[in-house]
Structure 1
């Protein structure tokens, strides 16, 4: 078996808030949109959002109505300058969870939260 990760899809409560956050605040380019399903151009792995209601109605998956604002995973985006990116996001009112820190392996990481409380890691490339 040869599995390749191609999509990460977050289920969101408020489409407009999430769309604005990822498109305007994080400045991800929209690759494709069909109703409340939006794919962003993020390289080899596509990052997408869809509303919880849409997933329940159109796909038939059991999805809770609201999140408990607790994270059980994270999504990571690499940037050239983590500290500068965090300063820009802070100025836009984004919730900063963890300030930038350089890990023992040389990677700089920081954490923010999206409108649904999903943890988003903002980081440098490993070894950069």
Structure 2
């Protein structure tokens, strides 16, 4: 039985661009940096940036959700002002609020805030 998540891998085409996005735009920590594999972390989450595979988006694939440090509204506005591609508005659901966006390589990400 799996007891934890070691890492989430996302394909990237441009490692420098991807590192800049995850480090500078999202504020994650770069733990390892190389031309074909880098790792960024936030808390217990480790994201592997994999340039060894062809990057492409597929509808219905995995989505990485981030909990904003401040309000989801403030973080949505900050990302949008930073030029991040927001793929939808903030939506409210009984299980929480989400705001979908893309990383620099076209991978699906979202902000998530639990219900108040």
Does residue 109 of structure 1 match 2:113? no
- Aligned pair count reads 114
Matched, 1:47 2:37: no
Q: Cα–Cα, structure 1 residues 41 and 86, in superposed 2: closer, same or farther, change >3 Å?
A: same
Does the CA-based 8 Å contact 1:25-1:89 persist in structure 2?
A: yes
Moved more, 11-20 or 26-35: 26-35
Between structure 1 and structure 2, the one with the greater Rg is 1
- 1:30 corresponds in structure 2 to 30
Name 2:62's counterpart in structure 1. 73
Deviations 1:36-67 (A, max 9, x none): 42222212231121213xxxxxxxxxx4x342
The answer on whether the counterparts of 1:70 and 1:117 sit within 8 Å (CA) in structure 2 is no
Deviation at 1:2, TM superposition (A): 3.7
Match of 2:112 in 1: 123
- Whether contact under 8 Å (2:30, 2:41) holds in the other structure is yes
- In 2, are the aligned partners of 1:9 and 1:48 still within 8 Å (CA)? yes
For 2:86, the equivalent position in structure 1 comes to 96
Q: Secondary structure at the match of 2:94?
A: coil
Q: What root-mean-square deviation, in Å, do the aligned CA atoms of Structure 1 and Structure 2 show?
A: 1.8
User: Which structure shows the higher helix fraction?
Assistant: 1
State the structure with bigger RCO (CA 8 A, min sep 6), 1 or 2. Answer: 2
Between stretches 23-32 and 36-45, larger displacement belongs to 36-45
State the Cα distance separating 1:35 from its structure 2 match. Answer: 4.1
TM-score normalised to the size of structure 2?
A: 0.85
Q: Which runs of 4+ in 1 moved over 3 A?
A: none
TM superposition score normalised by structure 1: 0.78
Could you list the runs of 5+ residues in structure 2 that have no partner in the other structure? Answer: none
Name stretches of at least 5 consecutive residues in structure 1 with no aligned partner. 53-62
